Amino acid sequence: MRLEEEMYTFGLGENFHLQDYLGLHQDESREGAFVFRVWAPHAEQVQLIGDFTGWFQNPIDMVRNHIGVWEVSSDLPREGQIYKYLVKRKGGQVVEKMDPFASYLEARPGTGAIVRLKRERKWKDGPWMGRRKRFGFQKRPVNIYEVHASSWKLREDGTPYTFRELKEELIPYLEKMHYTHVEFLPLMAHPLGMSWGYQLMGYFALEHTYGSPEDFQDFVEACHQHNIGVLVDWVPGHFTQNDDALAYFDGTPTFEYQDHHRAHNYRWGALNFDLGKNQVQSFLLSSALFWLEEYHIDGLRVDAVSNMLYLDYDEGPWTPNQEGGNRNIEGYNFLRRLNGVVKFYHPDVMMIAEESTAATPITRPFEEGGLGFDFKWDMGWMNDILRFYEEDPIYRQYDFNLVTFSFMYVFNEHFVLPFSHDEVVHGKKSMMHKMWGDRYNQFAGLRNLYAYQICHPGKKLLFMGSEFGQFLEWKYDYQLEWGNLDDRMNRQMQYFTSRLNAFYKEHKALWQIDDSYDGLEVIDADNRAESVLSFIRKGDKGDFLVCVFNMTPVERKNFTIGVPVAGLYQEVINTELEEFGGVWKEHNPDTMTQEGSWKDYTNTLSFTLPALGASVWRVKRRVKQPKTHRE
């Protein structure tokens, strides 16, 4: 009865734990035997081959059931042996195929699955999971360190660290740098490292390069024990077109669209999932839940959402939908369903969309036509702000809107502000190298930029190496330029990032109200001539921070702004302190406000604003003002 139900829900697209039916399992009716199941509805024949059959010498015939699933039970396999499926496609072509539901694959370039039963685990991260359920993440600090697991650090022989080694070195580094979360580029099995993991083949398998599933479970558990969340990139839109993986599995479009142009992703040399097919939905929804449940992941960043939403996003020919528009209706409905299913089972995990348009509400609820994601990468903010900081300060007054425009739409969605891997490759230069000026000014600009990111509403993300100002672009097959830290300026940059991250966690005004103008008050966004921006971030208990950014290398003495509260103010961040790599030996002195009209304010604060620097202030002691006659 259970198998009948599994098959029925699979066909309806309602099986959300499909790996419990398809793939390799212990045969409960035969001691020492394993049962293998694979979906290949139009195949003419499927055989099981592996170490236990002498591969092609004695293949084991599989039997097809009424929904196109081929099955066989055998007591020949032993744990640790490798197997594949020999599929005679419709039309007669015979190909070797991987098991799409394998949880462990052999090392590249092989694609064979390893006979391996699931290990039951007694997790020791209960306190973290309880806090996650209780407090969520919307009104919590989220500051993400984005990592490519196989190039963060390499062994002496040039091979990547596994998660066993990353547990010992990366977690202490995350603690030292005060990040709240770590996010990994895709960890699922992929045939080519050059793809960074975005051309997937094993949607249930940890990439062999990174060690065993237990290694990754240990890593996640240790992160949680150190109060660090773990996020993973996931790619449900497209997959590798390698012939031994999912591509045209049974000789017909099985996982991909029937239409040739919709099936082929010309830009990325991949194949697009048929997101309207029930069985494909079961496959992908099961994969998402598998990573969340098997590894206690705290969230998924869904890659390339635009490619799933718009028929004309790719470079190839396209056909309008039945309404004459460019929306991929199947993709739109799948993404809504994805978030609905994930949130039904795990309402406390983070669902993040990488999406580059504004045509579809991404983080709005379903009833408002949204997709139900928790966060969206703010690609517009990222592009605008990097273009501004790369510009010569002489011209910044003419492009000041690049800095201020985001305040017009800042709460239209729930945003993550990303400085991601995509911004430090393919000739775009590293974050430090993007900055204007000589080496001193580049570091000053980078400190200013990171302070602006931290103070701006929205959650934060920074790609590895950017935290210490690595000069060279990221290279996927080399480790970070850790040798840069032999240089004093890089060490000071790393120290600054660490202190800034700690400051972010310590001040609720920077993350408590990230979703409305209740948490933001712009003081002055019109000072183009001096290229100075000032605004206030507010917490929900009346606490606030005054954030001032000087975008030019000109120190401004006796700089004055209006502030909402009279009292003694203390400077709590100055990006130009010597300890950070600047020239200031100490902070601005504590400063008392003065009565005076300044825009809509009746109090002013005057201080020295550092050249190309950021200055953040808090109220140290409030002063009650006497009521005026007008009041």
Q: Which amino acid is present at 552?
A: T
CB 393 within 8 A of CB 355: no
Whole-number Cα distances in Å, 551 to 54, 314, 583, 588: 69, 37, 17, 18
Distance of CA 180 to the CA centre of its chain: 13
> What is the C-alpha radius of gyration for the chain, rounded to an integer number of angstroms?
27
- For 66-117, give the secondary structure using H, E and C: CCCEEEEEECCCCCCCEEEEEEECCCCCEEEECCCCCCEECCCCCCCEECCC
Peptide bond into 317 cis (omega under 30): no
- Which one of 114, 147, 174 terminates a domain? 114
* Residue 94: inside a domain: yes
What pLDDT sits at residue 563? 97
Q: Structural domain of residue 556, as residue ranges? A: 517-622
Average pLDDT over residues 444-469: 98
pLDDT band at 118 (very low <50, low <70, confident <90, very high): confident
Which residues share a beta bridge with 47?
A: 61, 86
CB 268 within 8 A of CB 196: no
Q: Indicate whether 204 pLDDT > 50.
A: yes
Instruction: Give the span between the Cα atoms of 95 and 40, in whole angstroms.
Output: 12
Among residues 411, 389, 412, which one has the least CA distance to residue 399?
A: 389
Q: Indicate whether 629 pLDDT > 80.
A: no
- Which tokens go with 520? 């933001």
- 373-400 pLDDT, tens digit per residue, is 999 999 999 999 999 999 999 999 999 9
Q: Indicate whether 119 pLDDT > 90.
A: no
* Residue 316: inside a domain: no
* Residue 361: inside a domain: no
- 459-518 pLDDT, tens digit per residue, is 999 999 999 999 999 999 999 999 999 999 999 999 999 999 999 999 999 999 999 999
Among residues 202, 208, 286, 185, which one has the least CA distance to residue 244?
A: 202
What pLDDT sits at residue 631? 41
Three-state SS at 555: coil
What pLDDT sits at residue 624? 79
Instruction: Give the span between the Cα atoms of 83 and 105, in whole angstroms.
Output: 10
Q: Indicate whether 1 pLDDT > 70.
A: no
Q: What DSSP string describes 473-515?
A: PP-TTS---GGGGGSHHHHHHHHHHHHHHHHHHH-GGGTSS-S
Average pLDDT over residues 219-226: 98
- Which tokens go with 144? 């993400």
Residue showing tokens 């030292």: 176
What pLDDT sits at residue 561? 98
Q: Tell me how many helices (H) and strands (E) the chain has.
A: 14, 31
Average pLDDT over residues 196-200: 95
Instruction: Give the span between the Cα atoms of 552 and 251, in whole angstroms.
Output: 61
Q: What's the mean per-residue pLDDT of the chain?
A: 95
Q: Which amino acid is present at 511?
A: W
What pLDDT sits at residue 91? 87
Q: Indicate whether 2 pLDDT > 80.
A: no
* Residue 40: inside a domain: yes
pLDDT band at 18 (very low <50, low <70, confident <90, very high): very high
Among residues 388, 295, 247, which one has the least CA distance to residue 103?
A: 295
- Which one of 79, 114, 149 terminates a domain? 114
pLDDT band at 529 (very low <50, low <70, confident <90, very high): very high
Label the pairing between strands 544-550 and 532-538.
antiparallel
CB 609 within 8 A of CB 442: no
Strand-by-strand arrangement of the 591-592 sheet = 520-527, 532-538, 544-550, 614-622, 567-574, 591-592
Average pLDDT over residues 401-415: 96
Domain of residue 95, CATH code: 2.60.40.10
The Cβ of residue 158 has, within 10 Å, a number of other Cβ atoms equal to 9
Residue showing tokens 């007669």: 92
How many domains does the chain divide into?
A: 2
Average pLDDT over residues 270-295: 97
Q: Which residue has the higher pLDDT, 629 or 404?
A: 404
Q: Indicate whether 93 pLDDT > 90.
A: yes
Three-state SS at 2: helix
* Residue 611: inside a domain: yes
Three-state SS at 444: helix
* Residue 54: inside a domain: yes
- 304-331 pLDDT, tens digit per residue, is 999 999 999 988 899 999 999 999 999 9
Instruction: Give the span between the Cα atoms of 521 and 536, in whole angstroms.
Output: 5
Of 2-6, 581-585, 616-620, the least confident: 2-6
- 51-92 pLDDT, tens digit per residue, is 999 999 999 999 999 999 999 999 999 999 999 999 999 889
| Active site residues per annotation | 303, 354
Which residues share a beta bridge with 327?
A: 310
- Give me the percent of the chain exceeding a pLDDT of 70: 99
Among residues 244, 228, 229, 12, which one has the least CA distance to residue 106?
A: 244
Whole-number Cα distances in Å, 146 to 179, 182, 226, 270: 10, 6, 18, 24
CB 612 within 8 A of CB 548: no
What pLDDT sits at residue 627? 59
CB 604 within 8 A of CB 562: yes
- Which tokens go with 94? 């015979």
- Which one of 98, 114, 130 terminates a domain? 114
CB 565 within 8 A of CB 603: yes
* Residue 304: inside a domain: no
Among residues 188, 197, 203, 234, which one has the least CA distance to residue 19?
A: 203
What pLDDT sits at residue 630? 41
What pLDDT sits at residue 259? 94
Instruction: Give the span between the Cα atoms of 611 and 607, in whole angstroms.
Output: 13
Instruction: Give the span between the Cα atoms of 219 and 203, in whole angstroms.
Output: 20
Domain of residue 599, CATH code: 2.60.40.1180
Whole-number Cα distances in Å, 277 to 26, 319, 391, 614: 29, 19, 48, 52
Q: Indicate whether 628 pLDDT > 60.
A: no
**Torsion of Cα atoms, 371 then 377 then 379 then 383, to 10°:** 170
* Residue 39: inside a domain: yes
pLDDT band at 360 (very low <50, low <70, confident <90, very high): very high
Rounded to 5 degrees, what are φ and ψ at 526?
Answer: -110, 5
